[in-house]
Amino acid sequence: MPNYGLPGVAANKNRARTVGLILVALILVIALATSLYRSLRSEEGLRVALHTELIGDGVTEGTQVRLDGVLVGEVTEIAPAARGTQRISLRLDESRLHGIDDSMLVDYAPANLFGISELALKRGPGGAPLRENAVIDLTGPNSGNVYDATMGSILRSLSQVGESAFSPRLATVIAQLSADFKSFTPLVQALITVAQTIADNQTMPANELLGRLGPAFDGGGDFAGATIEVLDQLHDIRILHTDRDRFDVGVAVLTGSILPGLSTTVSAAGDELAEATDMLAPLLAVLAQMVPRPQQSADDLRTLLERLGRAMPNTPEGPVLNLEVDLRGVPGIAVPLLGQGGAR
């Protein structure tokens, strides 16, 4: 084999082989040291296992474990246990587990808006401190210490609520409410029309109007006082204290005999006078035709009453007709009256 070399470089085949072996050995040593460091580093932390009957959606190996929002560890393994339970192995940072013991509570919760799950540890009522390889029982009576608040659980709850709430009966109730609200439509329209009419015709500002209405309530105190005084007088009626039985008999007669009899009388009168009331419409129509111009008729009637008042002034002996008659063309009456002031 030809000897290939670089001009000016003092290197031979043995030397190059030695340098190559040294480099390969150095790389192997670095790789072994890195692997050993990682294996030793991965063993750091407090290892705890959770024995539970429930695992939240999205909780897998590598899921983060937090306490009060601070990262304190991760899930290292999830394995099945007896009777359908599961064993969740955790590696925790013991220096951050302030107040956590074997009575802790566990929540499966979403870590962010995307629904990625995490384990949230909560402090319990108090128990023994956590030890290496301790197993915390969250089954049976302790199953209430685990709460699933993951996005999947929330969606399942919403679907169950939808199935139970949006039933045919709810649709019937909504339809009934819709029909009932339609009954209020005329009232709402009337209120809107009234409000619009007030807004269109209002000439006085609202603050000035309220200012003028304020004095109208000045008598509220007097009215309340008078009402209380009336109630006090009613309470002080002598018969209520001396002869209460007689008063009760009178009230019973009023409510049991007089008022029902009056109601019967009015009902009978209404039935008997129903035809008579039908005759009032033509009569009122004729009266309306007799007064085609009510304003003019009112003015004429007012003028007539004023003239009658001037013609009959009041005297100590009562109203006397103030009348002048010209009798010059009637000598039979004028001659006897000559001595009384002339022919008028």
Q: What is the pLDDT of residue 1?
A: 46
How confident is the model over 163-200, as pLDDT tens digits? 776 667 777 888 888 887 777 788 888 888 888 888 77
State the pTM of this model: 0.40
| Exposure class string for 72-84: b at 16+ Cβ within 10 A, else e | bbbbbeeeeeeee
Residues in contact with 135: Cβ distance below 8 Å, sequence separation at least 6, in sequence order: 48, 49, 50, 51, 87
Give me the DSSP letters along 70-108: EEEEEEEEEEE-GGG-EEEEEEE-GGG-TT-BTT-EEEE
Report which residue type is found at 294. Answer: P
Mean pLDDT per 10-residue segment, the chain (344 residues): 55 75 90 79 76 88 89 90 88 87 89 84 88 88 87 81 71 81 82 85 74 74 84 80 83 87 85 74 79 81 84 79 72 65 46
CA distance 97 to 121: 9
**Distance in angstroms (rounded) separating the CA atoms of residues 129 and 314:** 117
Which positions ≥6 away from 145 have C-beta within 8 Å? 103, 104, 105, 106, 124, 138
Q: What is the C-alpha separation between 238 and 236, in angstroms, rounded?
A: 6
Residue 342 pLDDT: 45
Q: Which stretches does DSSP call E strand in 23-180?
A: 46-52, 64-67, 70-80, 86-92, 105-110, 117-122, 134-138, 146-148
- Residue 339 has a pLDDT of 58
Q: What is the pLDDT of residues 126-153, one digit of tens each?
A: 888 888 888 989 888 888 889 888 888 8
pLDDT at res. 98: 87
